Structure 1
Amino acid sequence: MTAEPRKPYDIDSLTDVALRVFAERGYDGASMDDVARAAGITKASIYHHVSGKEELLSRGLGRALDALFAVLDEPESREGRAVARLRHIVYRVADVTLRMLPELTVLVRVRGSSKSEREAVERRRAFDRIVTELIAGAQRDGDIRADVDPRLAARLIFGMSNSVVEWYRSGPLARDAIARAIVTTAFEGICTRV
């Protein structure tokens, strides 16, 4: 009787496992032993790939933020009226959140306790500033109500997307339907014309 061979891990697949563990247990509540157990490898094997838990966190946060900033580079996010660009960004952020649930769960929960977390918080703030400016531009165009603070609107809109990490599990609700519902809820509440 021979044991089943262990699945070989590379840095990306190990990061995937770590993110699932961090999302489930919280970064501070998860240990390298937890990650090793979830991966089915020894803790020493993890250190073959990374220097420690912080590096796994940094890789995961980088993935999440890179995906969010990639949304801003899409043609639909850069061309056209500000309100149309904003709608696209809100939809795509919700979509990215649902597609990259472990990464975004960890990002949403960071508090700035470690170097990686502080860097992630700063990058997220930069993202939020870009969206806030876009909301202000849509207000100048007359497409978004002038009585809504742009910064507050950005926080509330992305609060809807962020909340998905707390309750969404694969199931009968399609990711596209959730993303469309977020856009509809946000824009029917802040647009002067839809």
Structure 2
Amino acid sequence: MSELIEPRRGRPGYDQRRILEVAVTAFIEFGYDATSMGVLAERLGLSKSAIYHHFSSKDEILQRALNEALDALEALLTDEQARAGRAADRLAYVLRGAVHVLVDKLPFVTLLLRVRGNTEVEREALRRRREFDRAVTALFVEAGQEGSLRSDIDARVVERLVFGMINSIVEWYRPEGRESVDRLADDVLAIALDGLRMPAVARVLP
């Protein structure tokens, strides 16, 4: 049986943010469909009505959690550094930022990566993920066209491989470990992009 979390003093005992964090942990552990409001109430040591004081439904909790991850990822694409300059530099900025988002919002991104489209909230999250993936793929294409990266590999395949690597971080990364997020981002860029860069001699040939 899961260990109960002792509620804070006062009614309803937890603020909205803390309920969201505990709910995300439960969704990851049990799966969204298997996590009832009763399970959340037990985890929190609250009544279900106390949870409804902050959220109208379990779907709203899920939506808030998924937005936490998606809003941060989408914001990378609208930052000034992702909109001006060489495509390869903009791409590097987005990939580095994605690593930071994953680490900074690890539980929320973990939950995002596990949704399967069983509800309307999940389907909307998957749609936004696909839009983000398409935008990053376009950067790979542009970097190939400008001669910064190889263009002989399908950009869609490259994007999936690179984000397969980045997304795998949720399975093993520990914030208290020896590697900082900056070093981790450096390592990801080195592995992801160095093999795709055009040799200098190739860039000067007609």
TM-score, normalised to structure 1's length?
0.91
Query: What's the counterpart of residue 138 of structure 2?
Result: 133
For the pair shown, the structure with the greater C-alpha radius of gyration is 2
Name the SS of the counterpart of 2:168 in structure 1: helix
| Structure-2 separation of matches of 1:121 and 1:108 | 9
Query: What's the counterpart of residue 16 of structure 1?
Result: 21
How far apart are 1:193 and its partner, in Å?
4.3
> Once the two structures are superposed, what CA deviation does each residue of 1:31-61 show, in whole Å capped at 9, x if it has no partner?
3233223333222211122122211111111
| Structure-2 separation of matches of 1:65 and 1:84 | 22
Q: Within the alignment, does 1:74 sit opposite 2:79 as a pair?
A: yes
Query: What's the counterpart of residue 175 of structure 1?
Result: 181
The letter for the 2-side match of 1:5 is R
Identity of aligned residues (%): 43
Name the SS of the counterpart of 2:164 in structure 1: helix
Deviates further, 182-191 or 97-106: 182-191
| Structure-2 separation of matches of 1:77 and 1:193 | 24
Query: What's the counterpart of residue 164 of structure 2?
Result: 159
Equivalent residues, number: 192
Q: Are the equivalent residues in 2 in contact too, given 1:23–1:106 (CA < 8 A)?
A: yes
> Once the two structures are superposed, what CA deviation does each residue of 1:114-163 show, in whole Å capped at 9, x if it has no partner?
11110000001011111111111001001111111111111111111111
| Structure 2 alignment gaps of length 5 or more | 1-6, 201-206
Q: Which runs of 4+ in 1 moved over 6 A?
A: none
| Structure-1 separation of matches of 2:29 and 2:81 | 34
| Structure-1 separation of matches of 2:83 and 2:98 | 15
Deviates further, 104-113 or 43-52: 43-52
The letter for the 1-side match of 2:187 is A
Deviates further, 63-72 or 171-180: 171-180
> Once the two structures are superposed, what CA deviation does each residue of 1:68-109 show, in whole Å capped at 9, x if it has no partner?
011111121111100000001001001100110011001111
When the two chains are superposed, the root-mean-square deviation of aligned CA atoms in Å is 1.9
The letter for the 2-side match of 1:137 is E
TM-score, normalised to structure 2's length?
0.86
